[in-house]
A and B are shown apart, each in its own frame.
Chain A
């Protein structure tokens, strides 16, 4: 079976443009997470979903960042009016459970965003 996939793998955009990053979780996985990872650092939590419900968005840096998972499968992270400081690797992860006992998170390859 396929793992978590993300597209595009690389995105270069100009400051002020909007970008949409896509995540395809492992089929059947209930929970989906978005992280941002700086080079050589650990991932930083942004938001997560159980099914289509956004459970926690406390890690989103500001209101330019939003995420959705309308049908409980594919998710999109949208950054409006991008700024250079938004440049980073954006990673998606999915897990089979939805709370309580910890379930392993499987990470995707990431989308490298560069804002010029």
Chain B
């Protein structure tokens, strides 16, 4: 049973389009992180959201943490080929810093 469900698992769109990736759970997390992973590399942290309802922006990327701290979304505006990669959400249940990862969303942006 996957504690964090990401959708879609695969997404291939054209350059310039917008997209949203979802990360859902029935569990409450004290914080939730989004990572991006390139082939052959380890995941790299993009953002951490902590407060229910929080919205963080990183250039064309907008991250939102659900009010109940059970879900999150990543929205990319005007996607570019450089956005291609595996996007992972990870939840922290507090204290132990033990991260639970979703299965990832493989994003491909076509020129």
Contact = CB atoms under 8 A, between A and B. Distances in A.
Answer whether A and B are interacting partners. Answer: yes
Interface of A: 4, 31, 33, 35, 40-45, 48, 55-56, 91, 93, 95, 97-100, 102-110
28 contacts: A4-B42, A40-B104, A40-B106, A41-B103, A41-B104, A42-B6, A42-B88, A42-B101, A42-B102, A43-B88, A43-B101, A44-B101, A45-B98, A45-B100, A48-B98, A95-B97, A98-B97, A99-B95, A99-B96, A100-B95, A102-B30, A102-B31, A102-B33, A102-B48, A102-B50, A104-B33, A105-B99, A107-B44
B42 A107 contact: yes
A104 B42 contact: no
B46 to A, nearest CB: 10
List of 3 A-B pairs having minimum Cβ-Cβ separation, nearest first: A107-B42, A42-B101, A102-B31
A23 B93 CA distance: 25
